[in-house]
Structure formats: structure tokens, C-alpha cells
Amino acid sequence: MRGGTFRYLSKQGLSSLSKNKLMTFASIGVLSACLFLISAALLLSVNLNSIIRYVEEQNEIVIFLDDLSEEKLAEADNQIRAIEGLNSVTFVSKADALKEQAAELGDAILEGLQDDNPLPDSYRIKISAYTDLALTVSSLEAIEGVIQVNAPSNLAETLASIRQTVLIISISVVTALILVTMVVIANTIKLTVFARKLEINIMKQVGARNNFIRFPFMIEGGTLGFLAAVVSIIFSLSAYQAILALTAKESASWMSAVYNNLIPLADLWWIIVIINITIGVITGVISTIASVKKHLKV
């Protein structure tokens, strides 16, 4: 296609958009609402992932031991490692624990404690997300010499199942939405295509190829999709920004662990931009092509 022809056909498509303002607004409205929901689902699942990853990292059982003789300690060690479903078992001696504390709080605290270390021996145990937490805890408690078991809540498991559900629901809702949007756009555009049926017929009569006739409609649909994407990007990103601002104020509440793991805007705006523009433009182009197809057979 020549540059001149390309420019001419693009202009045709764009002028049709401004001539049919009502249909343009309707289509952009429907498509941007759909894209907004897609963005919301995307933001939700991305953040849920980040929170779950965080919680999984916290999924650590710590057990503290009595002051045990070496034999007793070896026996307890055997029993602990025999329990099923543990990912990793790390022994932290009281000396190691003291060093850790010193590293965190400064060497000053070592003074006077070196000889009389008050910290107990402990184990740090990572369990997989699928392990029955309650059972594991009671087995650990039953071991002789174990004085305390600190287990996390079941939050990780709960979140993992929520993530699955959210994923399934979002995929089906988004698919349905895209289909509905395509039908709506195809129908709105069909009206203008029908009005241009005679025009298409004349074009074919003077020897226009189908691609030549389709091109302005594709530009029209693509532009429509692009504009809808811009609207959706603006709304979804500002909504997300507002949510981030709101949660930042609540840092004291018990939810702060969750809030602190929300992904900052700077890290994900580009995903939203790419997804919106891709889906918007593709949906726009496909639905216009579908509505022109019927009239090309003359």
C-alpha cells in the first residue's frame, strides 16, 4: 500500500469515528468498562500473589528446647526430623541465637551474657503449604524436651485457596466480558456499516479489494479500542493509587502486613498499560472486521 493511500484510508476511518459520535461513545464506554474490570482483576491477583508469597515466607515453625543433655538433644533431633511434611529443619544453638541477636541489636548486649546465655536452643522448621499444620504442631509438642512451639496461623493456606478461586473467577468473568464487548461493539459498528453498505458496494464496483475496504474500519476499531484502553488505564491506575494512599494511612492496624506487601504503582503500571492497549486494540479490530465481513460479498 502506498503511503498516500495509507494516509487516505486512515483518515477515512478516523473521520467515521467523529461522524458517529454516539456510537463511538457507546462503544468506548462498554469497552473501557470491560477493560477496567480486567485491570481490577489483574491488580487483585498480582497483589494477592505478592501477599501470599510474603505469608509463605513467614510460614515457619519455631520450637524452643529445654536445656538438654547431648544425648537427649540427639534423640529429640531424630524425632523432629522423622516428622513428615517438613521442608527444612534448621537447628539454632543457643550460642548461634545469641550471635544473631548481637548482629541485630549490636554487640553491646553480648556483655555479661556470653557466660550466662539465657537463650534456649531452638529449631526453625519450614513446612510446605500443603502440610496439616495442626497435626504437625501436636507431634512437635509431644516430643520430650520441647518447651514451646510457635506456629503461624493458617493464613497462607487460606490465601492460596482464595487465589485459586479468584483466578478462576477472573478468567471466566474476563472471557465473558470480552465476548459481550465484542458483540456490543460489532453491533454498534454494524449500524454504521449498514449505513455504509451502499458505499461498500460502490467501492467493490470500482474494483476495490476487500483489504482496502476493511482498512478504514480496522483503523476505526483499533482507535476505538485504544481510546477505551486509555480511559480504562486512567481510571484503574488512579483507583489503585487511591487504594494505596488509603492503606498507607492504616499502617498501624493488624492488616499492615498485607498492606505493606501491596505492589507499588511504579512496579506495575506498565503491565496495566500493555494489557489494556493490547486487549483494547485487538477487541476493537476483531469486532469491526466481523461486522464488515457480511457486506463484502458483492
SS3 (DSSP) at 147:
strand
Q: How many CB atoms lie within 10 A of CB 23?
A: 19
Q: CA 221 to CA 285: how far, in whole Å?
A: 5
What's the min distance (Å) between Cβ of 228 and other proteins? Answer: 25
Query: Of these, 54, 91, 212, 269, which contacts other proteins (CB under 8 A)?
Result: 212
CB of 23 to other proteins, least distance (A): 15
User: Among 33, 73, 102, 203, which residue sits at the site for other proteins (rule: CB under 8 A)?
Assistant: 203
Residue 4 touches other proteins, criterion: CB under 8 A: yes
Residues 6+ apart with CB under 8 A from 94: 117, 119, 120, 121
Interface with other proteins, residue 191, by CB under 8 A: no
Q: In the complex with other proteins, which residue's Cβ is closer, 4 or 112? A: 4
Q: Cell for 163?
A: 487465589
266 sits near other proteins (criterion: CB under 8 A): no
Q: Which position among 19, 53, 81, 293 is part of the footprint of other proteins (CB under 8 A)?
A: 19
The CB-of-201 to other proteins minimum distance in angstroms stands at: 8
Q: Based on the shown chain and the rule CB under 8 A, indicate whether residue 293 belongs to the binding site for other proteins.
A: no
Nearer to other proteins, 4 or 106 (CB): 4
Smallest gap, in angstroms, from Cβ of residue 22 to other proteins? Answer: 17
Residue 108 or 206: the one with the smaller Cβ distance to other proteins is 206
Q: Do the beta carbons of residue 13 and residue 217 sit within 8 Å?
A: yes
Q: Is 214 helix (H, G, I), strand (E, B) or coil?
A: helix
CA 114, 117, 123, 126 dihedral sign is: negative
Edge to edge, the sheet with strand 86-92 lists: 86-92, 122-127, 60-65, 146-150
Chain residues in the site for other proteins (CB under 8 A): 1-2, 4-5, 8, 19, 196, 198-199, 201-209, 212, 298
